[in-house]
Amino acid sequence: MQPRDLSDLSPYVPGRGAEEVARELGMDPDDLTKLSSNENPHGPSPAAVEAIRETAPNVGVYPKASHTDLAEKLAARWDVTPEQVWVTPGADGALDYLSRAFLDPGDRVLAPEPGFSYYRMSARYHHGEVATYDLAKADDFAQTPDTVLDAYDGERIVYLTTPHNPTGAEFSRAAIVDLAEAVEDHTLLVVDEAYAEYTDAPSAIDLLDTHDNLAVTRTFSKAYGLAGLRVGYGVVPEAWGEAYARVNTPFAASEVGCRAALAALDDDEHLERTVETARWARDYLRDHLDAPTWESGGNFVLAEVGDAGAVADATQRRGVIVRDCSSFGLPECVRVSCGTREGTRRAVEIINDVLTEVR
Ligand code: PMP
């Protein structure tokens, strides 16, 4: 017996972890600077850590109340109803729930190329087919309505990532409105705002008041520093009513994760510090890396370095882990996450040394 054929899917390639690399190199993980997964270098809010401690004795119960509390808190924050907030296991979970809610077997989705690989995985897991729209390097990976509409052919779901991973490019609000109005009635636009805390651009969430063909996905993994707890959410139009109850895996976001997310939402100071550090690092990377880079709205910068695999291996041997973008179809680029000031300076020094040697 064999599982069904998903051989067209490449397995998800995560940024390499510090422990894994440290073991391989015989180094102490504390001596490594990991800038390969767009994590928060300050980690979670101390209030979230405290909430995790306080919740530990309660993990014998199913997390029903904490889901409700989190949906209500997010609803108040975004000025929507609690039914419009789908609490999910990471933003990946939100993508899956939308696939479950919208895809019939054989439906097509349209995803960016290069782009976040889970769009295609989620669609295929839910018996969908995948088409892509191209973001052109020659055009600085610009994200405009035409970028999408040139490839659009009535797909059921169209994914928009803003800021985009790994390029950092953004869709303007006007572009999202234009697209919501240009696509056919049966097409859902999923606006992935995993990195939205790092940009000045407003969220697309308030567009849900006027457009019922949009959903916005967000996460606690990035700016809130809770990647290890797997909590995200979708915000959907009011008109969808109780759809969540039909697609939700019961209790999929954990009690600890929801309680930590609730505490993190109250710590504005930690979020501000996080965003300030990332903006500093973004500028520092762009100003000091000896390689062409692209403007980024996220907590990372894409840099063109030549042979990305060789550069990433060499920087790793010296203690800095960056993301080789070959798996994104950009074998000449690395993506460098924003670290602390110290970590970012160290990364730039080491990457520049490596570039001098390999050129
Ligand atoms: N969307 C984008 C664009 C991402 O880069 C990521 C994380 N790599 C996610 C969604 C998923 O984030 P998570 O499941 O950790 O919330």
Whole-number pLDDT of residue 9: 86
pLDDT single digits (tens) 186-203:
999 999 999 999 999 999
Evaluate: CB of 89 within 6 angstroms of ligand 1: no
Whole-number pLDDT of residue 19: 84
Name 342's Cβ contacts closer than 8 Å, sequence gap at least 6: none
Q: What confidence category does residue 244 fall into, taking pLDDT thresholds of 50, 70 and 90?
A: very high
Name 38's Cβ contacts closer than 8 Å, sequence gap at least 6: 15, 165, 195, 222, 298, 299, 300, 335, 337
Match 């009011």 to its residue by tokens: 238
Q: Which atom of ligand 1 is nearest to the CA of 220?
A: 16
Distance 222 CA to ligand 1 centre (A): 8
Closest among 291, 287, 306 to 345, alpha carbons compared: 287
Match 């457009």 to its residue by tokens: 211
Q: What confidence category does residue 91 fall into, taking pLDDT thresholds of 50, 70 and 90?
A: very high
Q: What confidence category does residue 75 fall into, taking pLDDT thresholds of 50, 70 and 90?
A: very high
What average pLDDT does the structure give for the chain? 96
Question: 16 vs 303, which has greater pLDDT?
Answer: 303
Q: What radius of gyration, in Å, describes the C-alpha atoms of the chain?
A: 20
Q: What confidence category does residue 242 fall into, taking pLDDT thresholds of 50, 70 and 90?
A: confident
Q: Which amino acid is it at 342?
A: E
The residue whose C-alpha atom lies closest to atom 7 belonging to ligand 1 is: 194
Q: What confidence category does residue 30 fall into, taking pLDDT thresholds of 50, 70 and 90?
A: confident
pLDDT single digits (tens) 323-336:
999 999 999 999 99
What percent of the chain shows pLDDT beyond 90? 89
Domains and CATH numbers, the chain: 18-43+268-358 (3.90.1150.10), 47-266 (3.40.640.10)
Distance 359 CA to ligand 1 centre (A): 33
Residue 249 DSSP symbol: P
What is the distance between the alpha carbons of residues 57 and 171, in angstroms, rounded to a whole number?
44
The residue whose C-alpha atom lies closest to atom 12 belonging to ligand 1 is: 91
What is the distance between the alpha carbons of residues 352 and 189, in angstroms, rounded to a whole number?
40
Are 299 and 222 in contact by the 8 Å Cβ rule? The answer is: yes
Distance 61 CA to ligand 1 centre (A): 28
Mean pLDDT of 77-100: 98
Cα distances (Å, whole numbers) of residue 61 to 68, 229, 256: 14, 17, 11
Q: Which atom of ligand 1 is nearest to the CA of 38?
A: 8
Cα distances (Å, whole numbers) of residue 187 to 115, 155, 182, 207, 252: 20, 6, 10, 16, 27
Evaluate: CB of 183 within 6 angstroms of ligand 1: no
* ipTM of predicted assembly, 2 dp: 0.99
Mean pLDDT of 54-72: 93
Mean pLDDT of 100-116: 97
What is the distance between the alpha carbons of residues 332 and 132, in angstroms, rounded to a whole number?
21
pLDDT single digits (tens) 267-284:
999 999 999 999 999 999
